[in-house]
């Protein structure tokens, strides 16, 4: 019976075992949602021997209740609004627009920090495995999947160690495959399913991306 993961690295190693059909494929890339998804995705990329990159997504928090997502914004300007939350709390369009503007600034900062001078890769005709450390409302993952779909990948796979049952089910409309290892009945927050859920830092993200790049000498080129 599932209890909890020791940390994100352990979660990634376990999740990787369920993704072995994608091992050693030249058209596959693992995309992590920073920051917490990066340690999980790093272990998956190493196990599958495929490239690792990041796809920056920022949650749009409800003012005064920042942990509650009213939506999310992703690289490329795609945003998703949780209409149920917005309607229930009576959130105005100006409030939403203000949140989008603020998070766009942080999104661009993180992209530059994590990627540096590297160009954002093209995912056309690629098999993209989107990874996070878990899903509660799924707003960030939904934004990422919708943004990626615009780049015409061959296949989108969403893979997470733990998720709310309804969220996991809802995402099947956006991805070609959804792997949620565990969907506990009593799900309140992702952190409750980890012994160590300490915040992943920007420096840790950069270090893991650098380690992954060093281990891969070839450039990711879908279809080659």
Edge to edge, the sheet with strand 65-74 lists 57-62, 65-74, 79-81
User: Secondary structure of the chain: what % helix, strand, coil (to 5)?
Assistant: 40, 20, 35
The answer to whether residue 2 sits within a structural domain is no
Residue 199: inside a domain: yes
1 located within any domain: no
| 83 falls within a domain | yes
What residues make up the domain containing 89? 8-213
Of 198, 159, 165, which is closest to residue 40 (Cα–Cα)? 159
Count of the separate structural domains present in the chain: 1
**Residue 166 falls within a domain, yes or no?**
yes
Mean pLDDT value across the chain: 90
Averaged pLDDT, 50-70: 87
CATH number, domain at 120? Answer: 3.40.50.2020
Is 17 contained in some domain? yes
- pLDDT for residue 13: 98
User: Does residue 180 sit within a domain?
Assistant: yes
DSSP letter for 65, please.
E
Q: Would you say residue 219 has pLDDT above 60?
A: no
Residue 146 near residue 129, CB atoms below 8 Å: no
**pLDDT score at 223:** 47
Per the CB < 8 A criterion, the answer to whether 206 and 10 are in contact is no
Quick check: is 38 in a domain? yes
């Amino acid at each position: 019976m599932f209890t909890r993961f020791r940390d994100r690295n352990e979660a990634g190693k376990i999740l990787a075992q369920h993704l072995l059909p994608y091992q050693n494929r030249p058209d596959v890339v693992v995309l992590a949602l920073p920051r917490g998804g990066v340690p999980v995705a790093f272990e998956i990329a190493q196990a599958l021997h495929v490239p690792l990159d990041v796809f920056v997504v920022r949650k749009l928090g409800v003012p005064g209740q920042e942990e509650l997502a009213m939506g999310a914004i992703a690289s490329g300007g795609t945003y998703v609004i949780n209409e149920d939350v917005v309607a229930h709390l009576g959130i105005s369009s100006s409030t939403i627009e203000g949140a989008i503007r603020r998070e766009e600034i942080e999104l661009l900062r993180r992209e530059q920090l994590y990627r540096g001078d590297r160009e954002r890769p093209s995912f056309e005709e690629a098999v993209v495995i989107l990874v996070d450390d878990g899903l509660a409302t799924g707003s960030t993952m939904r934004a990422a999947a919708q943004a990626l779909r615009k780049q015409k990948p061959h296949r989108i796979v969403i893979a997470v160690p733990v998720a709310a049952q309804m969220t996991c089910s809802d995402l099947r409309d956006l991805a070609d495959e959804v792997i949620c290892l565990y969907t506990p009945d009593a799900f309140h927050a992702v952190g409750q399913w980890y012994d160590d859920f300490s915040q992943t830092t920007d420096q840790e993200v950069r270090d893991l991306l650098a380690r992954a790049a060093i281990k891969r000498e070839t450039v990711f080129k879908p279809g080659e």
